[in-house]
Amino acid sequence: MAIKRALLSVSDKTGLPELARGLYGMGVEMISTGGTARALEEGGVPVMQVAQVTGFPEMLDGRVKTLHPNIHGGLLAVRSDEAHMASLGEHGILPIDLVIVNLYPFAETVARPGVTFAEAVENIDIGGPSMIRSAAKNHAFVAVVVDPADYPAVLEEMKAGEGELSEATRRRLAAKAFSLTAAYDRRIAAYLAGRLGEGAGLPERIELSLPKARDLRYGENPHQKAAFYREEQIALPCVATARQLHGKEISFNNINDLDAAFSLVKEFEEPACAIIKHTNPCGCACGDPLAEAYRRALEADPISAYGGIIAFNKEVDAETASAIGSGGFVEAIIAPAYAAGALEALTTRKKWAVNLMVLETGSPEKVVLKDPDRLDFKKVEGGLLVQEADHKETTAANLKAVSRRPPTEQEIADLLFAWKVVKHVKSNAIVIARNRQLLGVGAGQMNRAQPVELAVRQAGEKARGAVLASDAFFPFADGPETAARAGVTAIIQPGGSKKDEDSIAVADRHDMAMVFTGVRHFKH
């Protein structure tokens, strides 16, 4: 059955002129609503206004225009049912064979800074989802298209099939349509629950509907298939919103490491660089200019940095690009922006540069922003663990000095730097730092003494005069004792162990400063 009549009502006009001309060229009669009808008429495509079909004008500022039996009867009538078709004839209702609809941009609206509640509510589409659901339910006879990306394929199939679309195509389009309306309603429900204060704390029910952003080369291992699914409403600079400017196809592990790297540099307002291997920082430093931050980050562990992921929180300039290009193999770089000539310097000077993945997040002035409502998900077999994201800030005012000697101003600055870094290291986590530079890391060990030994070994002689951060309390005094023997002068830790006094005694015996934060930063 060839498509003879189409209903078009779109807020996103992408691809509309080409679609309309293609349908008109195949003799399809078009019905449309306000803004879409005007766009079609301006493009020289004849169109019938919805009001002509319903015999009723649009009203209530456009809230009511397609909610009418002449529209939904034309969509829902079963063409093989004689009674349905007789009813259409009796009431003068025209069958509609194709629906082209996309919805008011609710998610985009509520993502805008400063959007009012009234603006959000006004962008809840009613007529659009109703038409989509009617057409999708009756997909045996009606095709529904909700994504401009599908326009070319629909036109091509209609041309090849003398105006017809196959049952398989109509079913695929219907499934996509129902997925869209389900995700749309979930987003509205989540927004209203948050704004109206319903269900304090975490939601009673979580339903995820994420569009596939891209297929990936493979998963954590080559035998695992993988894809990346993106949250549609997210607007902050991050790996999900970044553009890839250069390099090979990105992988599962690449995205994981890029996210870890960029999340770390977003902790700092001053120019910062992080180098990541297997989601743990092997280098991190602040410095001005940015090239100095990179050189200092690389000093921490140049061996582990080979093949690593590099992140910056400021625009990469030519000097920084040149410094990276003169070093060893780099897998990927993520930054807010790249100055003129920087991208060329990164991608042409080494053999490995042809595959170097370069990502740009944009909005460098907003790079330190965090979404306070962001939830963190961890998949386990049979379910999801859900928690608030760890955005807890610690300042000098939050530190409680528990040792006989309080920390100096320089030690406080270094302790706060180390505390930001250790939050991004896998537990059990230890970080040694000095002058806003990471010197040693101990990550993912089964007891707290071992990561101290690892961090001290990596820092070597640079541990003398440095500070140490521990993501959780010391259950025994062996960790602080190892740090003291290495020359560490100050320790930052949450406190709260039954044996805190033993650790404090070690600090006092070696004239170390020790501060408690009262906050733990486990990262499993």
The yes-or-no answer on residue 137 being catalytic is yes
**CA 16 from centre of chain:** 29
Peptide bond before residue 447 is cis, with ω within 30 degrees of 0: no
- The closest alpha carbon to 173, from 207, 137, 215, belongs to 137
- The closest alpha carbon to 433, from 409, 406, 410, 404, belongs to 410
Strands 243-246 and 357-360: antiparallel
Q: How would you class 260 by CB atoms within 10 Å of its CB: exposed for 0-12, middle for 13-18, buried for 19 or more?
A: buried
The yes-or-no answer on residue 510 being catalytic is no
Catalytic residue among 137, 176, 366, 523: 137
d(CA 77, CA 104): 26
Residue with tokens 């004008």: 57
Other C-beta atoms lying within 10 Å of the C-beta of residue 413: 16
- The closest alpha carbon to 301, from 460, 488, 522, belongs to 460
Q: Side by side, which strands form the sheet with 98-101?
A: 48-49, 29-32, 5-9, 98-101, 143-145
Q: Which residues contact 247 (CB under 8 A, 6 or more apart)?
A: 332, 347, 354, 355, 356, 357, 358
Catalytic residue among 4, 176, 278, 370: 278
Active site residue ranges: 137, 278
